[in-house]
Amino acid sequence: MNGMYIVLKLRFLPRLLPVLSLISFSFFSCVSDAISAEEYFAIGMAYFDMGKYAEAETWLTKARSAKKTVTASDYNLGRIAFETKRYEEAARYFERVLAKDADNVQALKAAAYARIKTGDLAKAEAYYSRALALVPESADNGYNYALVLYALKKYDNAEEVLARRPTVLQENKDILLLYARAQKAQGKPEAVDSYALWLAVNDDPQARYEYGVCLEYTRLYALALETYRAAYNAMPADNKNPTKPEARFAIARVLLIADSENDEGIAELEGAIMDGFADFDAVRLLLTEDGVSEARKADIQRVIDNPPSPPSEEPAATEDSATVESGATVEGDAAVEALERPLEPAPAAGEAAVNETDASEKTP
C-alpha cells in the first residue's frame, strides 16, 4: 500500500514542481518580500495545466492587477470561464484583450467561439471576419466563419468563403458538406455534384436525404427515389433528421409526381401517415403538382379526408426505463450543430495566445 502511495506521489510530482518551486522561490527570496506578477501568472498557469481551474483563477486574478501581465491573465481567465461553461464571462475576458489589441487573431477566434455559445452570432461573424482578413489562408477560420454565415442564413456569403479554398474543399469532408448545404439552401443545381462528391467517400442518412432533395428539385426523379430509399433504409427508427415518416413521405411524393399511374405512390403516402407523418399541408401541395394525374389527386384527397389510422402507440416509458436522447437536428440547424465542434477547438492556448506577459506588445 505504501509502495503504491509513493508511486502515485512520484507520478504527480512533475506537475507540482512548477508550483512548489515558484512558491518556495517567493518565500525565500532576499530580493523581494512579495510575489511578483509574473510569478502569480506562472503559478496560475501551472494550476491551469493541471486542470485545477479554481486555483488557477485565483492566481491569475492576482496577476491581472499588474499592467505587465493583465493581457495574458485576461485571456487565460477567459479560457477558464469557457472551460467551466461561463460563456458570457469568457467572451468579456476575450473582448478585454481585443480592446487593447484588435488584431490579436487568437483572441478574435476565442471571442467568436464564446459568442457562438452565448448565441450572439452577429458578433461571432464580425470576429471571424476580422480573423480571416488577418490570416486569409487559414482554412479553419474560413470554415468557422462560413458556419456562422450559414447559421445566419447568409448562404451565398458562406458559399463564397468556402469557394475561395478549392483545395481544402476536396480534402476536408466537413468543409465540402457545408459547401453543398450552402448551395442547396440557395436552390443551386451545383449542390447535386457537391453532395455526390461528399457521398462518394462518406455516408450519412441525413446527408443522403439532403442529396435526394437536390435531385428531386432538379427533376432527376429516378436517382432521387433511389437516394431517398437508401437514406430511409439506413435511418434508425428514432431518427430526427429527418424522421423516418418524413423520409417515407419524400419517397411517396417522388412516386406520385414521377410515376403517377403506379399504385405504389399512394401506398407509400398512406404508410407514411400511418407511421406518424402529420404535415397535411405538404400532402395538399401534391394536389397542385402538374405531374400528378387527376385520378391520383382524387386518391390523395381521399387520404386527406380519411387519413389511415396509425398503429396504437406503445405505452409511455416509465421513469425507470432507459431512454436514449438523439443528438440529431433538422437540416436547417445543421451548421448550428456543427458550431459545437469547429475544426479548431477554441479557445486554444497557442504560442500567440497572449501567453507572454508583456501587454505592451501586440500578439503576432
Q: Cα separation of 170 and 254, whole Å?
A: 31
pLDDT at 273: 96
Per-residue confidence (pLDDT) for residue 241, from 0 to 100? 86
Q: What integer pLDDT is reported at residue 351 of this predicted model? A: 33
The amino acid at residue 237 is: A
What pLDDT is attached to residue 27?
Answer: 45
pLDDT of residue 2: 44
DSSP 206: H
57, HSE (Cβ side, Cα atoms, 13 Å) = 16
Residue with cell 480573423: 131
Measure CA of the first residue to CA of the last residue in the chain; give whole Å: 51
Single pTM value for the model? 0.73
Query: CA dist 309 to 267, 277, 287, Å?
Result: 14, 11, 21
Sign, CA dihedral 82-87-93-94, equals: positive
What pLDDT is attached to residue 347? Answer: 56
Q: Which pLDDT does position 311 carry in this prediction?
A: 67
Q: Which pLDDT value is given to residue 8?
A: 37
Measure the CA–CA gap between 334 and 345, rounded to whole angstroms: 18
Cβ proximity of 294 and 263 under 8 Å: no
Q: What is the pLDDT along the chain (364 residues), one digit of tens a residue?
A: 444 434 434 444 455 555 545 444 444 443 443 468 888 899 999 999 999 999 999 999 999 888 888 999 999 999 999 999 999 999 999 999 999 999 999 999 999 999 999 999 999 999 999 999 999 988 888 899 999 999 999 999 999 999 998 888 888 899 999 999 999 999 999 999 999 999 999 999 999 999 999 999 999 999 999 999 999 999 999 999 899 999 999 999 999 999 988 999 999 999 999 999 999 999 999 999 999 999 999 999 999 999 998 766 554 444 333 322 323 333 444 444 555 444 343 455 433 344 443 333 333 3
